[in-house]
Amino acid sequence: MNILVINCGSSSLKYQLIDSATENVLAKGIVERIGMEGSCITHTPAGRDKVVKTQPMEDHNEAVRLVIEALIDPEHGVIKSLSEIGAVGHRVVHGGEKFKTAVKIDASVIKDIEDLSSLAPLHNPANLIGIHACEKNMPGVPQAAVFDTAFHQTMPQKAYMYGLPYEYYEKYKIRRYGFHGTSHDFVSNRAAEILGKDRKDLKIIVCHLGNGASISAVKNGECVDTSMGLTPLEGLIMGTRSGDLDPAILDFICEKEGLSSAEMNTVLNKKSGVYGLSGGISSDFRDLTAASKEGNELAKMALETYCYHVAKYIGSYTVAMQGVDVIAFTAGIGENDTGVRKGVCEYLKFMGVNIDEEKIMTRGEEVTVSTPDSKVTVMVVPTNEELAIARQTLAIL
């Protein structure tokens, strides 16, 4: 069965068509600037050149229609008709406490995702727009919602409660939820598979280091802690997001700089992280590494601070799980930035982490970068959230 995986944002829509039998990607693409000037679709059929088509599109309905058009196009398409799409799997950001696994979408699931929008006001409404657009363009094709938060729902209460008055949890469900769950699940599972072991017998720390970054502790196959919180702003220092802060800093800056809370939110989400720390050089680790090599002190400091924070989290999750067998690096930085991996592992030598200096330089592929005598196995495991969504969609439908 072919499964269309959709990741819908407020003005963009990423898609992949995956053959669930072979797990091959038949085509992938992105529709950008939906409802804005300069909207376009970039469609890449597997093994062929990408096709970019700039075309005005009013809304997500139009975007989904264009995706289908591209998929069945006689020249650039990969299927003959819509009937060859057996199911649609949607990435949905917030499933709250309600969704502990992926689910088949029906009216009550849609209502629940709507009700959870207050916890993810930027994401859940956009995900719903994508669901409605697919319903409209592909009536009768079953759809599944795969939640970013679901994998983390196994966390014990001591890991998800904040030190706030309990009434806020009762009234507003303020707690740690965690995100990137599909990736943490996929990578921890794959790491165990590569090692020929059962995930149930392992203590794994997954470092998902992309533009957004989070880290999780997966003990005996279940998530027991993760660094992102009520929102994806908490935890590690990220590309442009601050990560952990003293909460009193916010009021202090607002008062000194005369910022509203919305403006402060923009600073925390868009102007902070390694981008802000480096004095605005870049949020991209390739640029920061280049600047650091040229002697830029702020770039160097930003990279050092980043690695230090990742290492500190690894330390705390080792305590949370009372040990660690595997540390897996994934996502854009985890898979490609050899400097960050080395920088983090440098801190872990005391716990018997021994790195193979050659292997740690490998980029973008599955590899064990620790030596055979290392007390902890350190691996690079490329994530594949789309494949994970397709698998879960198939499983529940």
Q: Does 333 bind ligand ADP (CB under 6 A)?
A: yes
Q: Does 336 bind ligand ADP (CB under 6 A)?
A: yes
- Contact pick of 35, 210, 221, 343 for ligand ADP (by CB under 6 A): 210
Q: Does 239 bind ligand ADP (CB under 6 A)?
A: yes
Q: Does 9 bind ligand ADP (CB under 6 A)?
A: no
Question: Least separation, in Å, of the C-beta of 44 and ligand ADP?
Answer: 16
**Tokens matching residue 203:** 């203590």
Question: Least separation, in Å, of the C-beta of 205 and ligand ADP?
Answer: 18
Rounded CA-CA distance 389/186 in Å is: 10
Q: Does 284 bind ligand ADP (CB under 6 A)?
A: yes
**Tokens matching residue 232:** 């994806």
Judged by CB under 6 A, the stretch of 92-100, 217-225, 280-288, 314-322 that binds ligand ADP is 280-288
Residue window 240-279: x/- pattern of binding to ligand ADP, with contact defined by CB under 6 A: ----------------------------------------
Judged by CB under 6 A, the stretch of 145-153, 283-291, 310-318, 368-376 that binds ligand ADP is 283-291
- Contact pick of 154, 189, 211, 316 for ligand ADP (by CB under 6 A): 211
Report whether 82 contacts 72 (CB < 8 A). yes
**19 has catalytic annotation:** no
Sign of CA dihedral 179, 184, 185, 186: positive
Packing angle of the helix pair 107-115, 124-137 (nearest 10 deg): 160
Nearest to 302, CA basis, from 350, 349, 257, 337: 337
Q: Could you tell me which residues come within 8 angstroms of residue 85 by beta carbon, excluding any fewer than 6 positions away?
A: 2, 3, 4, 17, 68, 71, 79, 138, 141
Q: At 300, which helix (H) or strand (E)?
A: helix 297-321
Judged by CB under 6 A, the stretch of 73-81, 155-163, 250-258, 331-339 that binds ligand ADP is 331-339
Of the residues 19, 148, 225, 337, only one is catalytic, namely: 148
Q: At 3, which helix (H) or strand (E)?
A: strand 2-8
Rounded CA-CA distance 327/329 in Å is: 7
Residues identified as active-site: 148
User: What are the residues binding ligand ADP (CB under 6 A)?
Assistant: 210-212, 239, 283-286, 331-333, 336-337
